[in-house]
Amino acid sequence: MGWPTLSLKNGNFIPMLSRYPFIRASEFPTAWYKDDPNAPINPELIEVLKTTVLKGFIHIDAADSYGTEREVEITIKESGIPRDKLFITTKVLKGWKDARVALNDSLQQLQVDYVEMYLLHNPYVIPTTAEIQTAWKGLETLHAEGKARNIGVSNFQRNHLEALLEDCSVVPAINQLEYHPYLQRADDYVPWMREHGIEISSFKTLAPITVGKGGPLDLPLSTIAAKHNTSTSTVVPRWVIDQNVVGGTHPGDPYILSDMYNGSQSTPHPSDPSASQVFLPRHQTVRKLANRIHEQRVVLARGTPSSGKTFLARSLHTYLRGQGVKSIYIRNFPLSLEGGPSALHYLLEACHIQGFAALGHSFLRDNFVFLIDDAHTTYNNSELWLILNAMNQDHLVNVPGASFCMFSAFGTPDRGVMPHNMGSDLLVFNEHQRVFMVERFADDISLFYTTEEVDLYMEMHFQARGSDYEICDILKDTIHGLTGGQPELMDAFMHLCDMLYEAFYKDDELDIISEDDSEITQLFEVRGILEVTIAAIVNFAGLPLSPETFFPPEQEFEVLRQAQHARGQGLLFDPQSEAMLSCLTKGWLHMEENREGEFRCCFPTMFHNRLVEYLMGVQDLRYPTPPTLNRGELELMFRMRNMTIS
């Protein structure tokens, strides 16, 4: 299963959805198209691309002219996905006169030995037909040498292709063109290419719902999306794939990723054996949260750092936009507005920037949905919370207006868990206005994956690898039990499974990891191996450790000791304790209200509890000290079959 593929004339296959590591400023609000290839590495692009490949977009389409091949290289390295599971396309534009030099430079930038597809990027930069033919000969040589498994062209019109076909040894496998419902290449151009063995790859696949939004297809696309219980951002790629055209998207709107993955699986071609599968882990949660916002008008999603709030917020934004809702996603609200624009003005400008007409104070009477990430930074912004309180009061008396969903890493405005206990008592959220960290009851909405979503996530992870191995049910349950479904820890544990498979199982042609295997038994029974490995994989994100000492500061560690001794009851929240506040803001602890109305602090996952228990054992000389955290030593540690506790 996984993404559908297209068979090329030479017998090779190409995944039918790709991701371009750039966007143009004219198409989206942020530019990742580097005019200067020596410009600093763009970490935001790397994160978007990593999310992309880990969610199944195994086809990355690069180019020497994008200036982002280094970002692709880092993405490949940090994703942990084996090279043979990826399909990499790159193109030559600047170096068309000497394709060998150009490709060698691209391979060096990408840190790979070959690419699956190499394209001659644009015929219009090459002065004559003869020079186009000569440039193509250079690609044919690289194909014969194995550095380019397939070769093709981009932006070629029929006259360009006719010239190539007169004098080529290898027919272009692909011609990459702008292709979508608004631009279907009339005059029999597509059938003519296919008659000659040339398949089509598209760019600007999503144009009808991005730059072309507001056109005559809006209503038909929305109607189709509603019929299939999906969004327009799934319908368009599905249409392109159904034309046997390879679709391509840019990461300029990264939130569209989730629904596209869902859509490629939830509206498959009838002949696709995966027709009944849906692999987007959070699709049910997103829909429940959208309904909850519609019902309650003001909702707070509160968790811990790395609890998945940003991914959920972006997925929700994608879904709402696909449903025609005027969703406004705000990554960071200004920390302080003193001397700057008011909160009202900032919300208004956000509407304008994201393409919606809005006027004065009246826009709050419109049906905008504001999704504000990192909302814990707004707890001392009384103006913003007065607006939210007004919307909440309007809802109680059935006055229509804007809705808000606040995604926070800790605390609440009524129980502000900021340093020095900064907060606001302007709004108290009832139970129906809260998104909980962990699912408690069937109608709860949670930031962590539900049990069903954990299963979907794991299946999606293995599908992205090509289903080369699986893990037993007991090990799945163990991972779920330790992580509680916390997204970043789930990522780390699945990456650990990949490392174990590559180290111990792959060469022996074993395709299932079992909990009673000696390597797995050692991992869980010898204290320190699992804890240190997971901490290193997530680079301490979500596990607030010190890379130098591996221990939290002394006063915080004492609070964590008390939490560990308190077990399931948790520690009574003390707003005067700076160390407890620090544990909450860093994500070591999470605060919940019990049935008696007390606010108690507990570990967000069993793994946090296990990690603290291990550190306590190290301090008490019961467990070995943590090894240093470089990858080489971690890999060596995996191979220490007879490791014992001293």
Q: How confident is the model at residue 335 (pLDDT cuts 50, 70, 90)?
A: low
Residue 27: predicted pLDDT: 30
Residue 61: predicted pLDDT: 86
Tell me the average pLDDT across 500-504.
88
- Look up the CATH number of domain 283-435: 3.40.50
pLDDT digits (tens, 9 = 90+) for 177-233: 888 888 876 557 888 998 899 999 988 888 888 777 777 777 777 777 766 667 777
Tell me the average pLDDT across 352-356.
76
pLDDT digits (tens, 9 = 90+) for 166-183: 999 999 999 998 888 888
Closest CA to 280 of 54, 55, 47, 491: 55
Q: How confident is the model at residue 48 (pLDDT cuts 50, 70, 90)?
A: confident
Residue 419: predicted pLDDT: 38
Q: How confident is the model at residue 271 (pLDDT cuts 50, 70, 90)?
A: very low
- For 592-622, give one letter per residue: b (16+ CB within 10 A) or e: beeeeeebbbbbbbebbbbbbbbbbebeeee
Q: How confident is the model at residue 120 (pLDDT cuts 50, 70, 90)?
A: very high
Residue 629: predicted pLDDT: 45
Closest CA to 541 of 242, 305, 321, 332: 305
Residue 457 among the catalytic residues: no
For residue 210 the two structure tokens come to: 């991005």
SS3 of residue 128 by DSSP = coil
Alpha-carbon torsion, ordered 375, 377, 382, 383, to 10 deg: -70
pTM above 0.85, yes or no: no
Closest CA to 209 of 165, 259, 163: 259
Q: How confident is the model at residue 273 (pLDDT cuts 50, 70, 90)?
A: very low
pLDDT digits (tens, 9 = 90+) for 415-460: 444 433 334 445 678 888 989 888 877 778 999 999 999 998 898 8
Average pLDDT of the residues of the chain: 80
Tell me how far the alpha carbon of residue 278 is from its chain's centroid: 17
Residue 35: predicted pLDDT: 55
CATH classification (class only), 5-207+232-253: alpha beta
Enclosing H/E stretch for 298:
strand 298-302
Residue 368: predicted pLDDT: 94
Q: Is the pLDDT of residue 267 over 60?
A: no
Sorted by sequence, the CB contacts under 8 Å of residue 296 that are 6+ apart come out as 395, 432, 433
How far, in Å, CA of 378 to CA of 384, rounded?
8
Q: Is the pLDDT of residue 258 over 90?
A: no
DSSP string for 593-644: E-TTS-EEEE-SSHHHHHHHHHHHHHHTTSSPPPPP--HHHHHHHHT-TT--
Q: Is the pLDDT of residue 359 over 90?
A: no
Residue 547: predicted pLDDT: 54
pLDDT digits (tens, 9 = 90+) for 228-255: 667 777 788 888 887 888 887 654 444 3
Evaluated on CA atoms 458, 459, 461, 466, the torsion sign reads: positive
Contact 246, 237 (CB under 8 A): no
Most confident of 34-48, 332-346, 503-517: 503-517
Contact 423, 417 (CB under 8 A): yes
Q: Which of 66, 261, 501, 614 is catalytic?
A: 66
Residue 485: predicted pLDDT: 94
How far, in Å, CA of 475 to CA of 182, rounded?
49
Domain boundary assignment for the chain: 5-207+232-253, 283-435, 451-525
How far, in Å, CA of 174 to CA of 139, rounded?
13
